[in-house]
Amino acid sequence: MTCWILVFASQIQAQVTALVGGTLIDGYGSQPLRNSVIIIEGEKIKAVGRIGEIEIPTGAKIISTEGMTVLPGLWDMHVHLMINGHSDYAYWDKKYPPLFQSVIMPASAHQLLMAGVTSARDLGGPLKESIAVRDAINRGDIPGATMYVSGPFLQHRPYPGTEDFRWGIYGEKDAREKVQKLAKAGVDCIKLIDQDEMTKEEVFAIVDEAHKNKLKVVGHSHRPNEIRIGLKAGVDNFEHTGLSSAPGYPQDILDSIQERTAKMSLGPLFWTPTIEGLYNYEELRDNPERLDDPSWHLDLPDSVIKDIKHSIQHPESLSYFQLTPIRKPTLVNKFKQLQKAGVVMMIGTDSGIPMKFHSMSTWNELDVWVRVMGVDPLQAIKSATYWPAFFMGVDKKVGTISPGKDADIIAVRGDVIKYIDLLQSVDIVVKKGKQYK
């Protein structure tokens, strides 16, 4: 009797859905599977195969993916939920913290999800709010990308007015205590910035304490010495191509990167180049129509939308981007230098910075990688699916379309391998088995 009740209960709980017909890219970088079938049971992928090879259970809800490319939900490894494209950080940081947890951060996470980004890593935000929003999404209370959060930046000294999300480090002991505090609060990684301004002992203590707590360290890399000290201390993942308008990485840094990437037992060295914002700035300045796209208004109050619009009405005059046209021509060289040095690159965008909306950042990064940097589209997709999940230590659970993993799946009408920019209009978004779009 008990047995029957259990069987019956599991049958009514687990809704079965079949995605049928589309060309499947699984996220591992191998050739696509034509006429695919994905069976989803509850939150998980039950089976993957081709029409005729896989039995579709009777009573399954069938969603046709004919004419579409089907792929794992995208990851964006560098977002900032607490900002929404406003151009004046000092103003934003003063005015909007009371709305971060209830409005701003949930809106950002929801916009990411609707853009096909089913997982994202937030690198630098207030601790309590970051954890609260992540957990509310995981509980299913609010819609949004599954978040992995660093909480506050760890740095030499916080800039005035940013103490809530930038923690200063005052000696080696303090470095360990702050990492422990973050670990205890449940962050998913540690974010370092301005580590070239810290003492060597402080940087080493942060990385060591993070690793002891099974947390990876993500380091900012805008300046040569941020990279140098970061490599010495064992930072796991660097962000940005950096180095301002300098033409490329100095030889000693390239040598150190290669020394590191040669050590297989340490695992890959990861790099999130975040190039699209820089690469696309001039185009956006000259044709700002994209800024009028209402996709970034989702869940934001009218007053906030108006405020953001007002701040970016003259893209040509934003001080943030004045040097960008001089930096842009250096991007190809820097990207290729990193590639040649053997790093594993991941898709990330710095989404949330001036004019970079969560609803439209991620696909642009993939587009620039493929169209400008010449990256194979299947490898670019792997850098937005498998590798991020691997980096976060959740590749057994998510990141590819494989039986047993979470059903985080998107589908797009057309051939994404031939036209990567089709990712700008995702037709179907499924996260943990639930269809959001």
Could you give the CA distance from residue 416 to residue 409 in angstroms, rounded to a whole number?
Answer: 14
Residue 167 or 431: which CB sits closer to Zn ion?
A: 167
The region of 52-60, 66-74, 342-350, 385-393 touching Zn ion under the rule CB under 5 A is 342-350
Query: How remote is the C-alpha of 214 from its chain's centroid?
Result: 20
Q: How far is the CB of 348 from Zn ion (least distance, A)?
A: 8
Q: Measured at CB, which residue is nearest to Zn ion?
A: 350
Q: How far is the CB of 436 from Zn ion (least distance, A)?
A: 26
Residue pair 136/142 in contact by the 8 Å Cβ criterion? yes
Among residues 350, 365, 406, 408, which is the contact residue for Zn ion, using CB under 5 A? 350
The region of 15-23, 42-50, 155-163, 348-356 touching Zn ion under the rule CB under 5 A is 348-356
Residue 175 or 353: which CB sits closer to Zn ion?
A: 353
Residue 121 or 431: which CB sits closer to Zn ion?
A: 121
> What is the edge-to-edge ordering of all strands in the sheet holding 68-72?
23-24, 68-72, 409-413, 428-431, 434-435
**How many residues lie near Zn ion (CB under 5 A)?**
1
Residue pair 77/121 in contact by the 8 Å Cβ criterion? yes
Q: How far is the CB of 352 from Zn ion (least distance, A)?
A: 8
Q: How far is the CB of 152 from Zn ion (least distance, A)?
A: 13
Asked whether position 365 contacts Zn ion by CB under 5 A, the answer is no
Angle at 93 between CA 183 and CA 191, to 5 degrees: 30
Q: How far is the CB of 241 from Zn ion (least distance, A)?
A: 13
Q: Give kind and range of the element (H or E) at residue 79.
A: strand 74-79
Q: How far is the CB of 199 from Zn ion (least distance, A)?
A: 24
Residue 209 or 350: which CB sits closer to Zn ion?
A: 350
Could you give the CA distance from residue 343 to residue 243 in angstroms, rounded to a whole number?
Answer: 17
Coil, strand or helix: which one is 290?
A: helix
Residue 350 or 365: which CB sits closer to Zn ion?
A: 350
The region of 194-202, 249-257, 344-352, 404-412 touching Zn ion under the rule CB under 5 A is 344-352
Q: Which long-range contacts (CB under 8 A, 24 or more apart) does 8-13 make?
A: 13/42
Could you give the CA distance from residue 109 to residue 351 in angstroms, rounded to a whole number?
Answer: 11
Q: Which residues are near Zn ion by CB under 5 A?
A: 350
